[in-house]
Amino acid sequence: MNNARFIQIHTLTSYPGTLLNRDDAGFAKRLPFGGATRTRVSSQCLKYHWRHNDGEQGLYQLDVPHTIRSRHTFGQLVAQPLIEKGYPPKLVICAVNTLKELVLSGKSVSDTDYKKILQGEMDLDSALNSSQVTILGEPEVCYIRQLAADTIDQLRHELGVLWDNQQADLTKEQIKLAIDTFKQVSDKDLKKNLKGLSIATGLDAAMFGRMATSDLLARGDAAIHVAHSFTTHAEESESDYFSAIDELVASMGEGELGSGHINTNELTSGLFYGYVVVDVPLLVSNLEGCNRQDWESVDRTLAADVVERLIHLIATVSPGAKLGSTAPYSRSECVLVEVGTSQPRTLANAFRRAVDKQPDLLANTYAALATHVHELDSMYEPKEERRLSAIGPVEQLIDALQVVKALPLAETASWAAAQVRG
């Protein structure tokens, strides 16, 4: 299916004795569904670990710009490198603050704030750190840094005293000249140049989107939609009592047991259903900078590589809470990939009735999934092409999905990539 518009990735992954994703009180996240409470892993948690995996299938093994998520981007990655190159700190802070406000809010810096910076009353952190995490691509950061340098260079000859002696105070005339120069930065040119950058937002934001609070930054809609993962059955949890031993006290042998800390943690077990949708036209558009409607006429190699890696990551990368005490490393026992042109639909409702855990949880889950898929296909007629990679008692599932056999994961991922590549 060379005009595939949506790729749906369904997974079943089992974890014993873990605490994959915690809430603000330290307990496992939960989800009420179908009259039973399930253990849950948030989509934010899943995406974080997929993005930051640095294994052989890691997304940033691809030669593409990164995305930077931080409150300190303008201070650490724009201003600090210029200061280290010898640009006067006061002018750097002014120039970068000008661009920060334009980019993030579309507003101008007040004369009062310019004067505070130039008079040494406002430092880098107070002027440039944002109250919220900003999402900027490496190309955007590099462009903003260069524009700040170019703006300061315009002042170089007029403010020679400050350039030669960075601790020197500016006169009123010099302050006015500096403020006038910074105010001349054109938001129209800034918007045009940011928009023209290749993969301006970086790979991360091209895949998972970003919000924008000003017109200068391109708002990026997520091309990859990730559902919260949840157990196909009712929750299973245990309160784990533990103590930390004070080994010096314990070694004294004078009746002291040596406990330095006593507490409890929640541990959970479960077979989790996961669901991810790739909007192929939007992914191609975000990566290649083309209009969405033109996605079939551009090179889709990068998008295909992203999809292939993503399927491997979804199947093999685990959320990382309590690594040291639970080793929560599992691989999916079932990966179903569907390719089609119709609006996607989750298969989560296969588990609306909590699956019985006995005598075989995986077999019962496969049976519930097979029944649900068969009923959906009977009602709507199957419109997707499918590939399955799975272990265990998969015969009923193979029949319901109308696939020949369960394939190795690499073949399923390669097939999905081929559908994107065209």
Summarised one tens digit per residue, pLDDT across range 4-13 is 899 999 999 9
Mean pLDDT of 142-167: 80
Sign of CA dihedral 390, 392, 397, 402: positive
pLDDT range class, residue 195, cuts 50, 70, 90: confident
208 to 35, 186, 278: CA distances (angstroms): 31, 30, 10
Closest of 138, 281, 282, 133 to residue 199, by C-alpha: 138
Residue 224: beta bridge partners? 278
Residue range 64-78, pLDDT digits in tens = 999 999 999 999 999
Report the pLDDT value the prediction gives residue 259, as an integer from 0 to 100: 63
Residues contacting residue 279 through CB under 8 Å, at least 6 positions apart: 5, 6, 223, 224, 225
Token reading at 40: 């849950």
- Centre a 10 Å sphere on the Cβ of residue 32 and count the other Cβ atoms it contains: 11
* Residue bearing the bigger pLDDT, 257 or 188: 188
Higher pLDDT, 215 or 360: 360
pLDDT at position 163 is 60
Residue 194, pLDDT score:
84
Give, in order, the Cα–Cα distances in Å from 144 to each of 102, 122, 217: 11, 21, 12
- Please write the tens of the pLDDT for every residue from 58-107: 998 999 999 999 999 999 999 999 999 999 899 999 999 999 998 888 88
- Write the pLDDT tens digit of every residue in 233-242: 999 998 876 6
Give the confidence band of 260 by pLDDT, cuts at 50, 70, 90: low
Query: 198: buried, middle or exposed (CB in 10 Å: 19+, 13-18, 0-12)?
Result: exposed
pTM as predicted: 0.90
Q: pLDDT grade, residue 162 (50/70/90)? A: low
3-state secondary structure at position 406: coil
SS in 3 state form for 270-308?
EEEEEEEEEEHHHHHHHHHCCCHHHHHHCCCHHHHHHHH
**Confidence label for 253 from pLDDT (cuts 50, 70 and 90):** low
